[in-house]
Chains A and B, each alone.
Chain A
Amino acid sequence: MRRARVLGAGALVVALGFCGTGAWTYAQARSDEGLSFGRERDTALAEGRRHLTVLNTLDASTREHAEAGVRAWREASTGPLRTELGRTAPAVGASARAEVTEAALTALDVRAGTAKLIATVRVDVTPRGGAAATSDRKRLEAVLNRTGENTWKVAALSAVPVAGAEGSGKAEENEKKEGGDE
């Protein structure tokens, strides 16, 4: 009987230890900075992809659609880019539809809430009047800012220029935007 008692106490101690170790392991995983950094990275990348698609897309077939498109641009952006887009007047013109074919983060500062993203985007531009669409491939670089819990927005967007080619990528990007608004 005594042996049973000792066994019982032993089992209890072992079970307590097991449960305690489990709780500790779980707490460690829960508060692991690497893991939360990874989650933040994936959120920033997904949000960045989504916003880049919006920012390179504009349905300018009617004035209402163009207005909605420009509103969507503003919602996807923050800071300087938002101010810049705020000056864009929606107008009927050529429409563009974008698809992010690949994207990667090149930098992420979780504490500051900033990230840098590079992406390749395929843009199909349909001129007004239903002419054949032309396809264009772009390589873009974007700066993302965290604006809230799990919310990242595009603060700057530019094409990555080819070394030796004339003109900055930024000008090229604005050209495209204005082209869509005409």
Chain B
Amino acid sequence: MTRLLRGTAEETDGKAPDLGAAPAEGGPEPHTPDAPHTPDTPDTPDTPDDGDDTGVGSRFTTRWRTAVLVAAVVALLLGGSAFFHGAHQLRSTPSARNHALTDTAATTRVGGDVGEGLARVFSYAPAQADAAERSARTVLSGRAARQYADLFAQVRASLVAQRVTLTTQAVRTGVIELKGNTARLLVFLDQTSQRDGAPATSAAAQLTVTAEFRDDRWLIVDIKAR
């Protein structure tokens, strides 16, 4: 190794004996002005044929080989990039980023949290008049909290006066979209209201709910009636 490195530095003098020792044709080569290039050929251990080439031929082969090498490297890099790009495309489609049903645990969690939250917020008993409002603060946020406050302000008086009991239950919950920390759900609610002594009446409600995952729980940030 060191000998060869020194050889290139010392130019032809160090190389000539090497060449002379191998094939007979090696002799005339140092005469050519291409001599500094000839050490290239013996350097390649995999192609002994090159030793027979003339200086011009070996220079051609070297260039050709370099070109092939560069082309191969470029092609491989391009191919690899194309593969990575393709994989990224596959994984970043809207369908792939939506984890509804694909992530079973998260889907069940958001459905349970939202269904339970809606049931708590839209249930009301005269005995615990402010329980619904209190749970609203822990379940609702943003626009949904404002909507709820407005709604509650309207019905509060009549709820108290008529001693109405409201019971709300989520009967179906479907997760439409679950992307990162936000989810959109379709919830079917059954609401039973009962005035003091009177028979209960039932009503159906369908809501599209937007929820956000904050502080380890799903908060309802928007509600739309369907």
Contacts and interface: CB of A to CB of B under 8 A. Distances in A.
Given A15-B80, A22-B80, A104 B175 contact: yes
Interface of B: 4-5, 8, 39-40, 43-44, 66, 69, 72-73, 76-77, 79-84, 86-87, 90-91, 95-96, 98-102, 169, 171-176, 185-186, 188, 190, 192, 200, 202-204, 206, 208, 226
Contacts of B79: 19, 22-23
B118 to A, nearest CB: 15
Contact of A1 (B40, B80, B188, B204): B40
A12 B72 CA distance: 7
Interface string A28-70: 1110101101110110000000000000000000000000000
B84 A22 contact: yes
A165 interface: yes
Nearest to B185: A104
Interface string A103-118: 1111110000000011
Best-buried of B84, B98, B203 by chain A (most CB within 10 Å): B84
A160 interface: yes
Given A1-B43, A160-B188, A165-B202, A106 B172 contact: yes
Interface residues of A, number: 47
Contacts of B206: 102, 120, 137, 139
A132 interface: no
A16 interface: yes
24 contacts: A1-B43, A11-B69, A12-B73, A15-B72, A15-B77, A19-B83, A22-B79, A22-B83, A22-B87, A25-B84, A25-B87, A35-B90, A35-B96, A37-B101, A38-B98, A104-B176, A118-B174, A118-B188, A119-B186, A120-B226, A139-B204, A162-B202, A163-B169, A163-B192
Contacts, number: 139
B226 to A, nearest CB: 4
Contact of A160 (B90, B95, B171): B171
Interface string A125-159: 00000000000010101000000000000000000
Contacts of A22: 79-84, 87
B69 A8 contact: yes
A75 B80 CA distance: 46
Given A19-B79, A35-B96, A164-B200, A1 B39 contact: yes
